[in-house]
């Protein structure tokens, strides 16, 4: 049982879309298409803002949860229109209302016409002790009834295959000869993946274990047991890869602390702003807001115990973006084309997202690159176009994509505004070009604006619903320079699955 695009459209029409949290008539904070709880179970709070893409994500997640409950409640066969009508009914009123209803009783008796007549009874609310019908509910129940009674012209169900991480049933922990902890994730007797932790830090272990939400238990392998063979994914823990600064970094002449002033502090503030840690003025004065931002950055890179707010040589070097993770060899295209190329690495960030390598290929040579992400935690399944489903929250599929122009919410190069908390100030729409087709929609390039919450440093839904998430402002500035320099319009996503087309051989003209 899954809702179809027809059922989703029905719900959208009657719920309406609100990208900023608002109180529903009962006073409950609500967002998107009537969402009151996010997929992780946390309640919506006033002040929350989301993107349209996130709103659809939450809608699909809730519909999938309702579908699972329907499968337990309904004992007779249903066509897709009936499934859509019942999911819409439950989305509005809850599965509890259906479970107690005469509608369900008649339906399970095989009395489909009688069940259809019951929809019109659910149009009342009680306000100030008075029971009254609502016009909106009358129209919605009438449309659900018509859909329930319609034979044929059914929508296509949104069939989302569980990701490999969701199929893991148990975990096994090993200790390597080098002292590393290695987690083997198993689906019964089948090895799904191996994840290694470089640091013996409790928080890292908890983060890795949380990726496998359906794993029932964790076994500790005896020392003599051999570690299974397979591709090893490296869990990086705290953010060990920081983007390169957009402006040159000055030399650090002395320790920067509260009360420091000067050009070094001004650069520090700009750099922390690029990394999503600072929202204050660029005034060169190391005050409380700067101190808080430094601590946020230090907690990300070194861990909370090391976040003291003092900027010395170690913090200064971390701010430089001098990463130890470098692609083994820059890519070369003998055809000499100019385009962007996206591939995956074997590294995983602290949010359970694969680090992806976005390269700028100019006249056949890789001249620059940044790290990005795509998809959500526990949904890191890389597929070809036709097998990549809408609503899966997985990375965008392998294939060729067309790059559209940059769209700014509040003027070119203005990073102080945002389309939404999820998208940030700028987005680039992508269109799938092949091979064959994909059901994925609303795929864009944007900053992963929720990767770190300003000031607190707490992550709020890091990752994307399938878009390419640029880590921070500094990296997007680098991407913007590529697009403005030679206007590449092709993006080749190559997950190593064998379906990515070869780049076109013609080079783009270089724009000055």
Range 280-301 burial, b when 16+ CB lie within 10 A, else e: beeebbbbebbbbbbbbbbbbb
Output the six-digit token pair for 138.
Answer: 């009358």
Q: From CA 124, how far away is CA 5, in angstroms rounded?
A: 28
Output the six-digit token pair for 304.
Answer: 């909370």
Residue 24 known to be catalytic: yes
* Whether the Cβ atoms of residue 187 and residue 138 lie closer than 8 Å to each other: no
Q: From CA 173, how far away is CA 134, in angstroms rounded?
A: 57
Q: From CA 453, how far away is CA 418, in angstroms rounded?
A: 14
Output the six-digit token pair for 438.
Answer: 């994909």
Q: From CA 342, how far away is CA 340, in angstroms rounded?
A: 7
Catalytic residue among 24, 127, 190, 261: 24
Kind plus residue range of the DSSP H or E element containing 341: strand 339-348
Residue 143 known to be catalytic: no
The partner residues of 234 in beta bridges, in order of sequence, read 196, 347
Smallest CA-to-CA distance from 363 within 328, 332, 400 is with: 332
What one-character-per-residue DSSP string does 352-413 give? Answer: S-EEEEEEEEETTEEEEEEEEEES-TT-----BGGGPPTT--PPPPBEEEEEEEEEESSSTT
- For residue 330, report the phi and psi dihedrals to the nearest 5 degrees: -55, 140
SS3 assignment, position 6: helix
Q: From CA 35, how far away is CA 58, in angstroms rounded?
A: 7
Catalytic residue among 15, 62, 193, 239: 15
Catalytic residues, which ones? 15, 24
């Amino acid at each position: 049982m899954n809702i179809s695009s027809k059922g989703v459209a029905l719900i959208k029409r009657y719920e309406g879309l609100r990208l900023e949290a608002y109180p529903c008539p009962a006073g409950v904070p609500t967002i998107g298409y009537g969402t009151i709880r996010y997929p992780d179970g946390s309640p919506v709070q006033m002040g929350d803002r989301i993107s349209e893409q996130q709103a659809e994500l939450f809608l699909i997640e809730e519909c999938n949860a309702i579908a699972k409950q329907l499968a337990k409640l309904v004992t007779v066969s249903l066509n897709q229109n009936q499934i859509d009508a019942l999911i819409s009914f439950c989305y509005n009123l809850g599965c509890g209302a259906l479970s107690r209803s005469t509608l369900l009783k008649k339906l399970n008796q095989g009395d489909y016409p009688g069940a259809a007549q019951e929809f019109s009874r659910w149009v009342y609310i009680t306000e100030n002790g008075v029971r009254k019908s609502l016009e909106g509910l009358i129209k919605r129940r009438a449309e659900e009834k018509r859909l329930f009674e319609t034979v044929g012209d059914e929508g296509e169900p949104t069939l989302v295959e569980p990701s490999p991480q969701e199929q893991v049933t148990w975990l096994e922990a090993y200790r390597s000869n080098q002292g590393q902890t290695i987690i083997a994730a198993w689906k019964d007797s089948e090895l799904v993946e191996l994840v290694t932790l470089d640091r013996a830090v409790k928080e890292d272990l908890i983060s890795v274990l949380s990726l496998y939400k359906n794993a029932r238990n964790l076994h500790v392998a005896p020392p003599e047991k051999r570690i299974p063979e397979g591709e090893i994914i490296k869990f990086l823990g705290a953010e060990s890869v920081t983007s390169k600064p957009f402006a040159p970094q000055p030399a650090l002449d002395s320790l920067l602390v509260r009360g420091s002033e000067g050009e070094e502090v001004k650069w520090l503030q700009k750099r922390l702003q690029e990394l999503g840690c600072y929202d204050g003025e660029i005034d060169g004065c190391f005050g409380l807001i700067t101190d808080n931002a430094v601590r946020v950055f230090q907690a990300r890179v070194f861990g909370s115990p090391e976040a003291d707010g003092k900027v010395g040589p170690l913090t200064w070097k971390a701010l430089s973006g001098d990463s130890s993770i470098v692609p083994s060899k820059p890519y070369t295209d003998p055809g000499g084309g100019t385009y962007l190329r996206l591939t995956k690495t074997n590294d995983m960030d602290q949010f359970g997202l694969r680090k992806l390598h976005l390269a700028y290929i100019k006249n056949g040579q890789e001249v620059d690159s940044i790290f990005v992400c795509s998809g959500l935690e526990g949904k890191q399944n890389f597929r070809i176009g036709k097998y990549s489903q809408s609503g899966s929250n997985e990375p965008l599929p392998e294939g060729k994509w067309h790059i559209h122009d940059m769209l700014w919410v509040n003027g070119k190069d203005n990073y102080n505004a945002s389309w939404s908390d999820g998208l940030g100030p700028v987005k680039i729409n992508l269109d799938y070009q092949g091979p064959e087709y994909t059901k994925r929609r609303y795929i864009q390039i944007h900053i992963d604006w929720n990767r770190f919450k300003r000031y607190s440093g707490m992550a709020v839904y890091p990752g994307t619903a399938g878009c390419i998430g640029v880590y921070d402002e500094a990296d997007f500035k680098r991407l913007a320079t590529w697009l403005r320099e030679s206007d590449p319009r092709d993006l080749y996503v190559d997950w190593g699955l064998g379906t990515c087309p070869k780049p076109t051989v013609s080079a783009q003209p270089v724009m000055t």
